[in-house]
Structure 1
Amino acid sequence: MDTNLYSGEKKSILYVLGLYLSSTLLLIATLFTSYYFYEKDQLMHDEKETLKKYALKIEDKLSALHEVNNHDYKYPRFDDFKSAIYDIDKNLIFSTFDDDIEELENKFFIKDSKSYLITSLSPYYMGAAYIVVQKETKNLDILNALIYLAIIVVLITIITSFFLVNLVLKPIRENIKLLDNFIKDTTHELNTPITAILTNIETLDSTNCDEKTLRKLDRIKIASMGISNIYQDLVYLLLNHKTSTQNIDLNLSQILVQRVNYFANMANMKKIKFVLEIKENVHFIADKQKMERLIDNILSNAIKYTRKSTAITVTLNESMLSIEDEGKGMSKEEIEKIFTRYLRFDKSQGGFGIGYSIIKSIIDEYNIKIDIKSKQNKGTKVTLTW
């Protein structure tokens, strides 16, 4: 059986991975962001406290100069910081700054990678009412470290998530494997009796049979065709990846007519009429067996789910094949899940739920687009375009 992941399993993996990764990454981003802003606030606090100490140094120097009252004084200067003093009207008295301060409203602020602190003086030493101290702001050097750490954590999270997903999906894979093995064994056992039934039905002489017996033979033949169709699907499912594809120029019109005739008895039992709008000599390059499986699955589903005494319209032209029934239809949710292997919406009809899974694999191989339109209690129209 195909060892690739089924679409349902892929969706489960993507869903679990997406949920786990998104929640984990959101938590990581929240923690890292909170830590970054905490460190930033702590840095601002440290900067402010340092500037307060510098401001006290200036105040002490101004106080000493004020008491000496010597007109020949030199404004204090320090290597660690710069300062300026302003009078009560916020006019500059003296400054060691390289740039002017435009406003003295904020007590503490950062501008052009420099930290500023404004404190008031009382009494007004040397006529100064305000002291402004300035220092180079320390760089917050944790951002790069946080980015590297985040990358490492994300990689570990992704690896862990794959491990967890595989652990969670292990029981599902085991169940699918059991189902595949069961189907494989069942298919093997069906081969001989199906061949025997179909061969004997074809060789039966029905000329001497009464009408009641003929009806019984028709029922047996139809039932055998149904079993044969399921058998062919199972064989395709089991062996498709092991057999080579033989793409040839097919007369799709002839194949379509042949497959409609093949299902004629099955349709007659439900008094279903085929309306054929098939253009002659429509050609398509593909593997004959695969195209027959594609057509058979769409036709058999149309017959299976349509009501009695209705019609199935089959249309074919150079770029399109459509099969429309007047059956029970499907909901939007059912159409979205229709290609899921082993999923059956109406369990009363039997089958393994593999028909549309086979259809999907074939149309994907030949780049055929499929459009399914359906209304409940109105019918379903399947359109293939290429």
Structure 2
Amino acid sequence: MEKIKNLQHSSILFGILFLFLFVIGSGYYLLRKNMLQNHKAQREIIVLDIQTKVESLLSALLHSYTLKKEEIQKKHKEVLSFLQKCGCDPLRLNLTPLYQKLNANYTPPRYNIYITDENLTIKNTTFKNDLGFSLRFAKATFDKHAKEHIIGVSTPLLEASTQKFFSYSDSYIPKTDKILQLSYTYEASSQRFQKIQHFLHKMGIVRATSYIILNDGFINKIDFATQTKEKLAQVIEKNQEDAKKILKTLQTKSRSIRQNKDLQTIYFVVDSPILKDAKVLYSITFDESDFYLKLATLKIVFLVITLFGVVGIIFLWYLRKKEIKLSYQEQFLRSAMHEIQTPLSVITLNHEMNTLKTGENEFTKEITNALQILELSYNELSFALLATKQEHKVEKLSLVEIVQKRVSYFKAVAKSMQKKIIVESEDPSCIMISSIELIRIIDNTLSNALKYSDPKSTIKVEIKQSNLCISNKGKKILDTKRIFERYFREDSAKGGFGLGLFIVNEIAKKYDIKIKVNSTDKKTTFCYHFKEAECI
């Protein structure tokens, strides 16, 4: 058998689809990699920007602290001196005059006064929100300052409720166990803090915290919280470790990343460029939900495209196998036609010569009928294989005349099969079609009607205007649609190539001929409705 030389269309599509899936897969990998790299780079830029802004804030705070420290100590001494001179109970003293004097040059006021009892609980203050607040946690610091005979002034601290920075002075009130504290508010730095908060919110950062860790162990925490949703807050609290525990984690490396569902927290520690012998620990939590949603969407799109591609490959693989099978069948049929053509011509010629010499008898009639059947099969194969390569002349034909000629041709075959063909026709009508293709429709339908009809039955041919109906009595057709498929045979025991009705259907499509098939247990009818033309 010849090797198939022509590349099938499905093979080309098969290759294109494989190439398409490869390009899609590579594109997905590269796009995802690029998204991750860009996202990481963007995060690095944001982290660096935050670090720069926080260092600028700390620098401004330290500068303000350096300028105001002596003033705070001076103001503290003035209050102490007043308390000593008045000889009154500081817990019952009206602090308003002192408050107004301290803030005489500030609008809004910057200073507040706090006085504790012996248990270090604030009992008298100009900042009423802190009444009852205990300062026992700072007793060691108070005692240290008393031992050194100094008025202590803390570095700026962030007050969570007001989100403002304060410095606190402290000392014992002479001859008592009570503590006097003054607080000073850094208004300008508080404005810088709010600008950083706005930047964090704009960048989609859930929370950013910096811990200023001094050499003496003191930790000053600055928390730039920008998200107050309860669920997120709970997750953040789990991620936020105590500064000392985080430092322990970072002993051998400068950076650590912790992922918790859609939240990513970056920890890193740097030496403070502002304070000597101090480190600044950063904890920055990003909301990654939008980014991971984009990655998930990209993955879903890729999977859907891949799924369609795989389905397409499976379909094309099936189609390709079918095309190869059909190609082999066509090669076989071409070879069979080539092998049959010469002996059929020789047999036909010799039979005609013998009939002329000896005359027609019962045996020569049988041979003639057999040759007619072979000729019909040969013509069917020839038409099927050459239909797409040949152009047939379209002309005006008498439907009745052509049908009667073909019925006359088939009557001898029908007689040899002990069957009959009858024709019923009304007014003669004309149609526009090539004679070869019209003959093929009639011959293939009559051939099938004879082949699949009951023994000793009658095939009925009816012509009414431009309608042709051919009926027979036989086995019911189970699938009236598949019988028009190429190489399909519902009853393989009857023989044939499965091409007859396929050819009829192709011709019908070409000339817009309507085909109607009605099959029951008693009768099967094929009707063809042609476009009518005037007979002139």
Question: 1:306, 1:379 within 8 Å by CA — same for their partners in 2?
Answer: no
**1:186 shift after superposition:** 1.2
Alpha-carbon distance in 1 for matches of 2:475, 2:357:
38
Would the alpha carbon gap of residues 168 and 353 (structure 1) be closer, same or farther in structure 2, given more than 3 Å must change?
A: closer
**1:265 shift after superposition:** 0.7
Alpha-carbon distance in 1 for matches of 2:7, 2:415:
40
Alpha-carbon distance in 1 for matches of 2:427, 2:352:
30
- Partner SS, residue 324 of structure 1: strand
List runs of 5+ in structure 2 lacking aligned partners. 18-120, 131-159, 164-193, 199-227, 234-286, 531-536
Would the alpha carbon gap of residues 68 and 151 (structure 1) be closer, same or farther in structure 2, given more than 3 Å must change?
A: same
**1:236 shift after superposition:** 0.6
Question: 2:337, 2:378 within 8 Å by CA — same for their partners in 1?
Answer: yes
Q: Are 2:428 and 1:284 aligned?
A: no
- Letter of the 1:184 partner, please give it: R
List runs of 5+ in structure 1 lacking aligned partners. 18-66, 82-113, 120-136
- Partner SS, residue 263 of structure 1: helix
Aligned position for 2:478: 331
Q: Are 2:344 and 1:194 aligned?
A: yes
Alpha-carbon distance in 2 for matches of 1:293, 1:207:
33
Structural mapping, 1:100-119, within 5 Å: none
- Letter of the 2:336 partner, please give it: T
Would the alpha carbon gap of residues 207 and 177 (structure 1) be closer, same or farther in structure 2, given more than 3 Å must change?
A: closer
Would the alpha carbon gap of residues 4 and 222 (structure 1) be closer, same or farther in structure 2, given more than 3 Å must change?
A: farther
**Partner deviation per Cα, 1:83-134 (whole Å, 9 max, x = no partner):** xxxxxxxxxxxxxxxxxxxxxxxxxxxxxxx9577x9xxxxxxxxxxxxxxx
Select the structure with the greater relative contact order (CA < 8 A; seq sep ≥ 6).
1
Q: Are 2:410 and 1:263 aligned?
A: yes
Give the RMSD, CA atoms, in angstroms: 4.1
**1:239 shift after superposition:** 1.1
Instruction: Select the structure of larger CA radius of gyration.
Output: 2
Q: Are 2:487 and 1:342 aligned?
A: yes
**1:319 shift after superposition:** 3.8
Structural mapping, 1:1-386, within 5 Å: 73=129, 76=161, 140-167=290-317, 170-202=320-352, 205=355, 214-332=361-479, 335-376=480-521, 378-386=522-530
Alpha-carbon distance in 1 for matches of 2:439, 2:229:
80
Question: 2:8, 2:320 within 8 Å by CA — same for their partners in 1?
Answer: no
**1:257 shift after superposition:** 1.0
Aligned position for 1:40: none
- Partner SS, residue 338 of structure 1: helix
- Partner SS, residue 308 of structure 1: coil
Alpha-carbon distance in 2 for matches of 1:328, 1:311:
14
> Could you state the TM-score of these two structures normalised by the residue count of structure 1?
0.60
- Letter of the 2:430 partner, please give it: H
Alpha-carbon distance in 2 for matches of 1:338, 1:73:
94
- Letter of the 1:194 partner, please give it: L
Question: 1:306, 1:326 within 8 Å by CA — same for their partners in 2?
Answer: yes
Alpha-carbon distance in 2 for matches of 1:256, 1:68:
120
- Partner SS, residue 403 of structure 2: helix
- Letter of the 2:420 partner, please give it: K
**1:233 shift after superposition:** 0.7
Q: Percent identity at matched positions? A: 24
Would the alpha carbon gap of residues 190 and 314 (structure 1) be closer, same or farther in structure 2, given more than 3 Å must change?
A: same
- Letter of the 1:329 partner, please give it: K
**1:325 shift after superposition:** 0.3
Question: 1:206, 1:214 within 8 Å by CA — same for their partners in 2?
Answer: no
**Partner deviation per Cα, 1:13-51 (whole Å, 9 max, x = no partner):** 9xxx9xxxxxxxxxxxxxxxxxxxxxxxxxxxxxxxxxx
Question: 2:8, 2:323 within 8 Å by CA — same for their partners in 1?
Answer: no
**1:198 shift after superposition:** 3.5
Would the alpha carbon gap of residues 167 and 309 (structure 1) be closer, same or farther in structure 2, given more than 3 Å must change?
A: closer
- Partner SS, residue 475 of structure 2: coil
Question: 2:369, 2:412 within 8 Å by CA — same for their partners in 1?
Answer: yes
**1:354 shift after superposition:** 1.2
**1:291 shift after superposition:** 1.2
Aligned position for 2:190: none
Aligned position for 2:101: none
Q: Size of the alignment, in residue pairs?
A: 278
Alpha-carbon distance in 2 for matches of 1:363, 1:198:
32
Alpha-carbon distance in 1 for matches of 2:469, 2:229:
75
**1:161 shift after superposition:** 4.6
Would the alpha carbon gap of residues 381 and 176 (structure 1) be closer, same or farther in structure 2, given more than 3 Å must change?
A: same
Alpha-carbon distance in 1 for matches of 2:289, 2:308:
32
Question: 2:427, 2:465 within 8 Å by CA — same for their partners in 1?
Answer: no
Alpha-carbon distance in 2 for matches of 1:340, 1:186:
21
Alpha-carbon distance in 1 for matches of 2:515, 2:477:
16
**1:266 shift after superposition:** 1.1
